Amino acid sequence: MDKRKKIKLKKKKNVIFIATVCLFSTIIVAFSTVKFMNFMSDKAKTEYANSKVQETKKISNEGDNKNKNTKESASNIEILLSSAGDCTIGTDPRFDADTSLPTMVRRHNNDYSYLFKNAVPIFEKDDITIVNLETTFTNAKTRADKTFTFKAQPEFAKALNLGSIEGVNISNNHIYDFLDKGFKDTIETLRQYNINYFGEGNKWIKEIKGVKFGFLGYQGWNNNDKFMNKLKQDIEELKGQGCVVVINFHWGEEGNYYPNSIQKSIAHYAIDQGADLIIGHHPHVVQGLEKYKDKIICYSLGNFCFGGNSNPSDKDTFVLQTKFSFNNNKLAKYDVRVIPFSVSSVEYTNDYCPTPLSGDDKDRVLGKINKISTNLGFKITDSFN
């Protein structure tokens, strides 16, 4: 082989060698890169996993703190109850229709919210509102043989919903004004509009913020053994279910600003058996408050949205608000305040729109209630003590 061929062969071998070295170098670099990327990926995964663990711990701690705060708030809670008096949402068909409650609503474009529009700002801020429903929601025509018989068409029950009223006492001397049919129609209407009711053998239990309230209603005309035994049994039943017991009594004498001996006897006995708050109505005027064994008795709230009189001589009324304080779901105490109202937004007639009083009129009603109240140990105001 000549020199020229040897040189060519040598160059060819060198090229092959260099190519081989480059190929192996490329493979090594590629392999190292893959390993490095896998390493970095594992590290990133680890870091991500660690971050998620920390995040989970943070969420868990926040949850624990939230649960702790919830438990703390649940152990000390307040519940606000508003109570108002006679609501005769309707009229006696024998009354002058031009001055009746239904006609007043018609004149306000059939706006059923008209009746309680001035009370709603108070009622919507409480936990529960109750009133005495002293009417029937019925189209029945056969009435009881008595001086006054009240009714309204069933759709007037909307006023209660629109008024932020959750429950009504039906135990009074007008619930049977249109006999059994009127009574049954009223119950059916209340159910239709999801309005809770109590009285006439019905009990209403409502759980608020984890606390049970039990509502009872009675016509309290006498304190004979039969009545008192039934009262005791009903209170014991609700207390056995862990309820705070609120009782509405329809009682007393019309036009009398002071409770009679029967009212006092029934109220004291109810508290002796475990009742927590007593609310009264029927006299169509306000009566005082009494403190008995650290419980409050409100003997009469007076009228409120009252379609039974187009221009009552005494338009004073009030909303009793009771603020219940609980510690670990146990009633620790409660305070009351009185919000003076007039049954009408104007002085010269009854426009059936109960309205809070202010200024001198508010002070006058507060002074009146303080004067006729007994054994309270504190001054009644429109603020909680």
Q: What are the tens digits of pLDDT across the range 6-16?
A: 434 444 445 44
Q: What are the tens digits of pLDDT across the range 227-284?
A: 999 999 999 999 999 999 999 999 999 999 999 999 999 999 999 999 999 999 999 9
Higher pLDDT, 42 or 78: 78
Of 251-255, 282-286, 303-307, 329-333, the one with minimum mean pLDDT is 329-333
Q: Kindly report the number of other CB atoms within 10 A of residue 311's CB atom.
A: 12
d(CA 305, CA 332): 33
Can you tell me the mean pLDDT for 177-204? 98
Residue with the two structure tokens 């202010």: 358
**Quick one: pLDDT at residue 73?**
52
Beta bridge pairs of residue 82: 129, 321
HEC profile for 232-263? HHHHHHHHHCCEEEEEEEECCCCCCCCCCHHH
Contacts 24+ apart (CB under 8 A), 361-367: 365/286, 365/316, 365/318, 365/338, 365/340, 366/338, 366/340
d(CA 268, CA 314): 28
**Quick one: pLDDT at residue 65?**
41
What pTM value is reported for the model?
0.81
For 375, the token pair is 């054994």
**Quick one: pLDDT at residue 92?**
98
**Position 305 confidence tier, pLDDT thresholds 50, 70, 90:** very high
**Position 72 confidence tier, pLDDT thresholds 50, 70, 90:** very low
User: Where is 7: in which H helix or E strand?
Assistant: helix 3-75
d(CA 247, CA 292): 15
Domain ranges of the chain: 79-372
Superfamily covering domain 79-372: Metallo-dependent phosphatases (3.60.21.10)
